[in-house]
Each structure stands twice: as C-alpha cells, then as structure tokens.
Amino acid sequence: MTDAKVYAMPSRPTRELNNRSLGSIVSEIREELKSFLNTRVQMMKSEFHEALGAIRVALPLALVSLVLIGTGSLLLTAAVVTIVASAFAGSPYAWFFAFVIVGVLWIAIGAIAAFFAYNQIRSRARFPKRTVEVLKADKMWIESEASNL
C-alpha cells in the first residue's frame, strides 16, 4: 500500500470546509437537524390523523351496531328461552333451567367474540410503523456516517 492510499479521504461528497467558519458549519448542521426532525414529526402527525379519521367513522357505526345487536339479542334470548323452557314443560323449574342454559350459551359466544376482537385490536393498534421504520433507517445512516468520520 502506498502512503497516498492510506491517507486518502473517503470518496463521499464533501463541502469545502476550509473556507467556512465554525459558526456557519454549526448553523448549517442546526438547520439540517431542524429540517430532519420537522419531517419526522410531520410523518407521525400524518399517521395519527389517518388513524383518527378511521376512528371518527367507525365509532358511530359501532355504537349503532351495538344498540341493534343488543335489541336483537334480547329478542332472540326471549325466543330461545321459550323454546328451551318448552323442553322442560313438566318441571316447575322449566323457566329457571331455560334461562341458565341460554345464559351460559350467550356468555360462551360473547367470550369467543371478545377473543377475536382482542386479537384484532392487538394486531392493528400499534405505534405508527412507517415512522418507526424510517427512524430506524435514519439511526443506521447516522451510525454509518459517524463511523466513517
């Protein structure tokens, strides 16, 4: 290896630093850092606004669906209890047994629905993925730039 190769600077674009003052370099770095942080904050705000827009549409629809499902569930429960009670027609506890059986059935179905809802929320409701990926890439870039100095 020759001395020229040992002392050669890395082949990346550099600016003329010899003719600039330390204050102007620091000022430029500060402006680039502000721009960098501003871009990342805007990305995060944009992702939060997208999520908020979806929630604004989904919330009223969810409330209407809960009211309708609740009403239908009460009517269906009354019908199912009547059918189950007719199976115990000779027993004085026919209605009691019917309510217990139907209640346990509805609890089981509700638990299954809650399980699926929990899995959906857990899989979708996370910190903004694109922003985190960009920040990780920025971190790797900064580390590579720091190691090149």
Tens of pLDDT along 77-108? 899 999 999 998 888 999 999 999 999 998 99
Extract the tokens encoding 146.
């720091």
Instruction: Say what the pTM is.
Output: 0.42
Instruction: Write the burial class of residue 148 (CB in 10 Å: 0-12 exposed, 13-18 middle, 19+ buried).
Output: exposed
Alpha carbons within 13 angstroms on the beta-carbon side of residue 36 total 13
Average pLDDT over residues 126-148: 79
Determine how many CB atoms are found less than 10 A away from the CB of residue 98.
Answer: 20
Q: At residue 81, what is the residue type?
A: V
